[in-house]
A and B are shown apart, each in its own frame.
Chain A
Amino acid sequence: MLGLNTKDTWLLVIVALMTLFAPFLLNPFPANSSLAQFNAGYPDLMQRFVIFGIFAIGFNILFGLTGYLSFGHAAFLGVGSYAAVWMFKLLGYNVVPAIILSVIVGAVFALLIGFISLRRSGIYFSILTLAFAQMSFALAYSVLTPITNGETGLQVYTSDPQYFQRSGAPDIPHFFGLEMRATETLRMGGWSFDINAGYYLCAAVLLVAFYMAIRLFRSPFGMMLRAVKSNQQRLNYTGLNARPYTLAAFVISGMYAGLAGGLMASMDPLAGAERMQWTASGEVVLMTILGGAGTLIGPVLGAGFIKYFENIFSKINDGVLHGWFGFLPDGIENVLVTVVHPFVGKGWHLTLGLLFMLVVIFLPGGLVEGGQRIGKYVFRRRGRKAGGAEAEAARKQPAE
């Protein structure tokens, strides 16, 4: 279907089903139970899952296929956000022009940075992109304050022109009248599920982005990019110039990042300079490696994993811990709380770091490799060979 082979079609269908039923899958615990703490099915986080999924898919097109490790990808996300908020300020709150412009701006910006950075490869390329991203961050943070509103963050004011904002249209981002914030809460017994309009818009965009990534992975162009990753020198000796291919991959990946930035601004119409900082760029590298670089679904899983930790683990404070261990005698309770304390709340980075180390050491192919190993174990008797092209790509090392 849709020009995909059976396996890829199934992958797409699975992703589609997962995104469609995410509000239910992510809220497995009744709203009033003590485990509700671990529910992730509220609109803000679900939107973040898919938006960062898109961001990571785009990053993976560059890193997973060509092996070029960009350390400044957050810059494209940032300019995408700024472009989108400016559309809200000038045109009106419809998200469509905002998203379109954010993709275009992401592409132009990527073309500019890519054209210069791609003159080098390996660590030099990484450093160049990092430098550009930090420059963009510094510009957005202070020098370009009239355009970016500096540290306060760019937002929409009632005094903004909004030339195409009709009088009856909603005062927050909307998709032809459908407010991004609109949420229908379904209550079933003790459970409650949030069906959010913005999330489903993001999810639809994610599916399109994912489908395009599959097609790209399976195309001759994707094969070319893999050739760049496995041995760029040999490619040069055969008389092929790799630069146009890598630049195209860089721009495509910049467009994905711009799209993610535009969606982020569409869900919450504020663009802050922090989303361009190097930590944000590092985060998408983590997502991709954690999920499995060079695989299709890996980056999406990695994005979900990290965002879950950031939003759920960081909210477990001492009060919650005492609640959990309250049934134990006081002494043991306090010891346990003291032991667990550094790993939750403010310390969620620590837990994430440990998990990241474990994944990199024991599952170099990321969460996808973990899944494949389990799959192999389960289907061993049938003698099926899991993996294929994906696992192959995951095993490849980045270009020198």
Chain B
Amino acid sequence: MTKSRLTRRGVLRTGAAMGGVLATPTLFTGAAWAQDSGFTNAPTGSTVTLGFNVPQTGPYADEGADELRAFELAVEHLNGEGDGGMLQTFSSDALEGGGILGKKVEYVTGDTQTKSDAARASARSMIEKDGAVMISGGSSSGVAVAVQGLCQEAGVIFMAGLTHSNDTTGKDKKANGFRHFFNAYMSAQAMAPVLEGLYGSDRKAYHLTADYTWGWTQQESIQAATEALGWETVNNVLTPLAATDFSSYIAPVLNSGADVLVLNHYGGNMVNSLTNAVQFGLKEATANGKDFQIVVPLYSELMARGAGENIAGIPGSQNWDWKIENQLGDRYKGTNAFVQSFGEKYGFPPSQAAHTCYAQTILYADAVQRAGSFNPCAVAEALEGYEFDGLGNGPTLYRASDHQCFKDVVVVRGKENPENEFDLVEIVEATPAEKVTYDPEHEMFAGGNLGECNPGA
């Protein structure tokens, strides 16, 4: 069916077309994303664009919505609108409410859908289309790791939102990525003494674990910490992140010989699994002659709200709590300033996800201001080894070797008789930062490499 007709005209035409195709690559010899300024998306006009990539759908949508509120508030404060929030208490005075380096802060938002693929696509469009010079937000470690990798390649700064996996600043750490939130290892270290005090050192634990990077490292950390107390680990069952009904996972727990159930779940997952566990009567059950107990290593007010009265008495850890300054004093200054401006704008207190995102935005803006440049390498240098205070967590260090913040960890319990729907947890203690600090080459964090900071030029 093919008729081969070689004509002079045809050969000429094909030759010209081929030449055109072959010449195309020469277009790309110039600087790539950088526009004459040495780094990706250098702001040229009177504004600078930040990209806020949060889950607006999926199991972590509540956290995402709260993060977005915090970002809006932070941008307001950076632009000198509102009451300034934590800028008043922040130990650095570089920011004066006139934007960042005199440029007004604007922002674009995206939906991560709590899926690595979707999160990266959304972050790419913010970087490529909207010219975002920094990406922040997110409520899943899987997404944080994926987006952090993208930001490293694209040459923009990634200020992680809520991500609690050890890997984010361990195995998967990147030079362009920074995490303010605490991690699974810290949770476990802070909780172990509390668990020993509450439940003794002779316990048998059954783990239900969300099947992704955060769940794995959370389970690994809490298992190591509790086994150091003398606890025994009966079983560890991995559950899919997308699961909404955990009955089939809870049913075998009672007959397993365990007397503690550890729910390494977060967000909607935890709300559902805890509700299932309570429905199965685990809270009233006894095993091995002891009262059955439930532990939720990573806690949040939003989850407590979702789980309702089921949360009563259940211990867990948090990065921050909106009541901390009132209850534990001036060390945690900034908290009240933030809670007040957030409450005035939205009518309820912020969650820890909101707090960490707000703090990250302020820290980024401050680092740019101190560095005098939006260049990611200059910003990274300004953040590395930076010690600050007044952002609600007490004195904090941004460690240079892994870009992880070190600060006090809050251990909390569900209140037995909450007064209102926002006051659902009580603070048990704040574990000082020294007790949760670890070596960057600790076995749970080893194997990673920050690499070189990438300005994208």
**Which residues of A approach B to under 8 Å, CB–CB?**
1, 3, 39, 42-45, 48, 141-142, 150-153, 155, 157-159, 171-172, 178-179, 181-185, 194-195, 197, 200, 204, 218-220, 268-270, 272, 274-275, 311, 314-315, 317, 346
Contacts and interface: CB of A to CB of B under 8 A. Distances in A.
A317 B122 CA distance: 14
B117 A141 contact: no
A48 B121 CA distance: 10
Interface string B200-213: 00000000000111
B21 interface: yes
Contact of A153 (B2, B21, B28, B146): B146
B240 A194 contact: no
A3 B4 CA distance: 8
Given A42-B125, A184-B28, A152 B33 contact: no
Interface string B72-102: 0000000000000000000000000000000
Contact of A274 (B30, B109, B116, B172): B116
Nearest to A138: B240
B142 A151 contact: yes
A142 B128 contact: no
Interface stretch (B149-157, B180-188, B253-261, B303-311): B149-157
B228 interface: no
Nearest to A173: B153
A181 B212 contact: no
Contacts of A155: 145-146, 149
A182 B128 CA distance: 12
B117 A274 contact: yes
Contact of A315 (B25, B108, B124, B150): B108
B116 A152 contact: yes
Contacts of B116: 151-153, 270, 272, 274
B238 interface: yes
19 contacts: A3-B1, A39-B129, A44-B124, A44-B128, A45-B125, A151-B116, A152-B167, A153-B117, A155-B146, A159-B447, A179-B28, A197-B28, A200-B24, A268-B124, A268-B150, A272-B117, A274-B115, A274-B117, A346-B111
By Cβ-Cβ distance, the 3 closest A-B pairs, closest first, are A151-B212, A153-B116, A272-B116
A275 B117 contact: yes
Interface in B408-437: none
SS class, residues of chain A in contact with chain B? mixed
Contacts of A184: 27-28, 30, 32
B244 interface: no
Contact of B142 (A153, A158, A317): A153
A45 B125 CA distance: 7
A284 B211 CA distance: 28
B211 A182 contact: no
Given A3-B3, A152-B142, A159-B449, A270 B25 contact: no
Contacts of B451: 158
Nearest to B155: A181
A218 B117 CA distance: 37
B326 interface: no
A287 B63 CA distance: 33
B212 A195 contact: no
Contacts of B247: none
A197 B25 contact: yes
Given A151-B212, A151-B213, 18 more contacts: A3-B2, A3-B3, A39-B129, A42-B128, A42-B129, A150-B213, A152-B145, A152-B213, A153-B116, A178-B28, A181-B32, A182-B32, A185-B35, A218-B1, A270-B120, A270-B150, A274-B118, A315-B108
A179 B57 CA distance: 34
Looking at chain B, what size class is its interface with the partner chain?
Answer: 35 or more
B392 interface: no
B110 interface: yes
A268 B127 CA distance: 14
Given A152-B142, A197-B25, A275-B117, A183 B33 contact: yes
Contacts of A218: 1
Contacts of A194: 128
A54 to B, nearest CB: 17
Given A44-B125, A45-B125, A150-B213, A270 B149 contact: yes
B153 A311 contact: no
Interface string B208-226: 0001110000000000000
A270 B30 CA distance: 26
B131 to A, nearest CB: 9
Nearest to B451: A158
A36 to B, nearest CB: 9
Which among B21, B115, B116, B238 has the highest number of chain A CB atoms within 10 Å? B116
B241 interface: yes
Given A44-B124, A314-B111, A152 B32 contact: no
Contacts of B197: none
Contacts of B128: 42-44, 183, 194
A270 B449 CA distance: 18
A219 B1 contact: yes
Which among B21, B33, B117 has the highest number of chain A CB atoms within 10 Å? B117
Given A45-B129, A181-B154, A311-B121, A195 B110 contact: no
Nearest to A310: B121
A212 B108 CA distance: 41
Nearest to B211: A142
Interface in B1-52: 1-3, 10, 21, 24-25, 27-28, 30, 32-33, 35
A397 B241 CA distance: 39
B56 interface: yes
B21 to A, nearest CB: 7
Which among A151, A219, A311 has the highest number of chain B CB atoms within 10 Å? A151
A152 B212 contact: yes
B12 to A, nearest CB: 13
Contacts of A181: 32-33, 153-154
Contacts of B212: 150-152
Contacts of B125: 42, 44-45, 311, 315
Contacts of B111: 314, 346
